[in-house]
Structure 1
Amino acid sequence: MLQPFYRLLIELTNGRWTSFLLKRFARSRISRIAVPSFARVYRLNQEDIENSFQDFPTLHDLFIRKLRKDARPVDLSSNAVVSPVDAVIEDIGPIKETSEIVVKGKIYSIEEMLGDRSVLEKYLNGKYIILYLSPSHYHRIHSPVDGTITKQWTLGRKSYPVNKWGLKYGVRTLAKNFRVITELETQFGHAAVVKVGAMFVNSIETTHNGSQLKKGEEMAYFSFGSTVVLLFEKGMFEMDSSIHPPKEIKVGEKIGKIGK
């Protein structure tokens, strides 16, 4: 009974008008009255933030808040891969030769997620990591490695929930939600940063300029909680043995290493 109910629920709450109304409210001046209660309910850490909660003119501005420059130290070891977001690592695993990954007992297609067979080939037999951002998390996305952007593209239109219930009961959420994909070339191979839109709000804004990204450098932000999927080429990435999903992680913390 739960699965059909949940699917019906997310269909009813993901329409164009509900999305429009949520976006409009979050960006309106009146939403400022919700900032203190939002910060309190989600236990946002004032010490991490550049401004005080009273300085945010809208709820949207709170969602896309910046942190103090020293709030997220980045592991600068030459072969370290760091978390691109504050999030929960929900799953890690291999990408099969068939392009499939298994998340929360469901099969997803990396080919469908990337929408490009020529890009897909290099990730077969590689690794994936899924990082989920709740509404309470810092929403800006940073580069997990030093690299050169070789391609960036956008796919999908609507978005469905990407929390653990959305992954379990939704229909191909990671592969069909609105998403912005950035592919990076490192000295050891390619990595893809797949930024997946969440229910209601599809806004994913890129903030970097040029084709070069330094590890820890900001590259984009979400306007609401969502998910980042990292993909690594075969043989280039090894997950840190201390990480066992689900695990809270912060921007700049080491999640593994690259090298061949």
Structure 2
Amino acid sequence: MKKQLYRAFVELSGNRVNSHLLRTFTTSRLSKGINRSFTKTYKLNTEEMEKPLHEYKSLHELFTRRLKEGTRPIDADEHALVSPVDGVLAHVGPLNEQSAFRVKGQDYTLDEMLGSKVKSQLYCGGTFVILYLSPSHYHRIHSPISGRVLERWYLGKKSYPVNQQGLEYGKRPLSKNYRHITEIDVNKKHMAIVKVGALNVNSIEITHHDEEVTKGAEIGYFTFGSTVILLFEKGLVDLDPQLQCPADVKVGMRIGTIHPSKDEEQ
């Protein structure tokens, strides 16, 4: 029962009024009273937290917590592709020549997800990775790769559930929900980090605004429920063959190999 209640706090509801009320409560000092219970219910690792539990002044502050420096070592291999979040590696696979993929019986097109047919064509024949975050996870987002930021943009106004039922019966939440996209040039190829909101109009905060991004650097955080989709142009990465879905991953953990640039190969 507690898990259902707390999940409602962090995933909110599709009802605008309920979402506003829950958000108001979770960001208030009143919600601090359930921080300890929330931590126990979801088995949060207090040893990893940047601050002692009692210093978090609201449930929202606890939910968006940072970790102690060095808690998530980033794979140092310059060709390592790493997980951008703590979460569940839920789906991986190829993007077909129509720049589309299928999850839980639903077809998703990159035209819709990225809001541009021109951009979607860049990823034809490439690779996608989907990572889900639950209330128990650390909700800061880090870059899985180093490169030059080409563009950042927001799409969508309303969000639907990003869970098993939402994926099977909802309105294609991965390509319809409120989302923020960061597109990066890596070795003269493209990749996109799509941050998808879940049942909340504005659940994504961006903290990185520079033109260059370094692997492992924080780029933003989710304030409520969340999903991250990684899109790679054909020939940019190979996912590690031993990856299985679903699988638990953490920030900085190697999930694939980045192909070297032509200059490096020579």
Matches within 5 A, 1:149-188: 149-187=149-187
SS for the counterpart of 2:224 is coil
Match of 1:210 in 2: 210
Q: CA deviation at 1:105?
A: 2.3
1:217-248 superposed Cα distances (whole Å, 9 cap, x missing partner): 00000001210000000111111111110000
Residue 97 of structure 2 aligns with an amino acid whose one-letter code is E
Q: Distance in 2 between matches of 1:121 and 1:62?
A: 40
Match of 1:189 in 2: 189
Q: Distance in 2 between matches of 1:206 and 1:178?
A: 14
Q: Distance in 2 between matches of 1:224 and 1:13?
A: 11
Q: CA deviation at 1:41?
A: 0.5
**C-alpha contact 1:205 1:221 (8 A) present in aligned 2:** yes
Match of 2:7 in 1: none
Q: Distance in 1 between matches of 2:117 and 2:111?
A: 6
**C-alpha contact 1:137 1:225 (8 A) present in aligned 2:** no
1:87-113 superposed Cα distances (whole Å, 9 cap, x missing partner): 101100111111210112221111100
Q: Distance in 2 between matches of 1:129 and 1:158?
A: 23
1:185-205 superposed Cα distances (whole Å, 9 cap, x missing partner): 111511100000012363211
Residue 215 of structure 1 aligns with an amino acid whose one-letter code is K
Match of 1:4 in 2: none
2:229 aligned with 1:225: no
Where in structure 1 are there 5+ consecutive unaligned residues? Answer: 1-11
Matches within 5 A, 1:49-88: 49-88=49-88
Q: Distance in 2 between matches of 1:147 and 1:32?
A: 39
SS for the counterpart of 2:181 is strand
Q: Pick which of 158-167 and 15-24 moved more.
A: 158-167
**C-alpha contact 1:196 1:226 (8 A) present in aligned 2:** yes
**TM-score scaled by length of structure 2:** 0.91
Match of 1:92 in 2: 92
Residue 79 of structure 1 aligns with an amino acid whose one-letter code is H
Q: Distance in 1 between matches of 2:22 and 2:158?
A: 14
Q: Percent identity?
A: 49
Q: Distance in 2 between matches of 1:156 and 1:38?
A: 30
SS for the counterpart of 1:25 is helix
Residue 168 of structure 1 aligns with an amino acid whose one-letter code is E
Q: Distance in 1 between matches of 2:177 and 2:100?
A: 17
Aligned-residue Cα RMSD (Å) equals 1.3
Residue 61 of structure 1 aligns with an amino acid whose one-letter code is E
SS for the counterpart of 2:122 is helix
Residue 34 of structure 1 aligns with an amino acid whose one-letter code is I
Match of 2:101 in 1: 101
Q: Distance in 2 between matches of 1:157 and 1:201?
A: 6
SS for the counterpart of 1:123 is coil
1:61-82 superposed Cα distances (whole Å, 9 cap, x missing partner): 0111000111100002111100
**C-alpha contact 1:162 1:173 (8 A) present in aligned 2:** yes
**C-alpha contact 2:139 2:222 (8 A) present in aligned 1:** yes
Q: Distance in 1 between matches of 2:138 and 2:163?
A: 16
Residue 156 of structure 1 aligns with an amino acid whose one-letter code is G
**C-alpha contact 1:188 1:258 (8 A) present in aligned 2:** no
**C-alpha contact 1:18 1:200 (8 A) present in aligned 2:** no
Q: Pick which of 172-181 and 114-123 moved more.
A: 114-123
**C-alpha contact 1:136 1:225 (8 A) present in aligned 2:** no
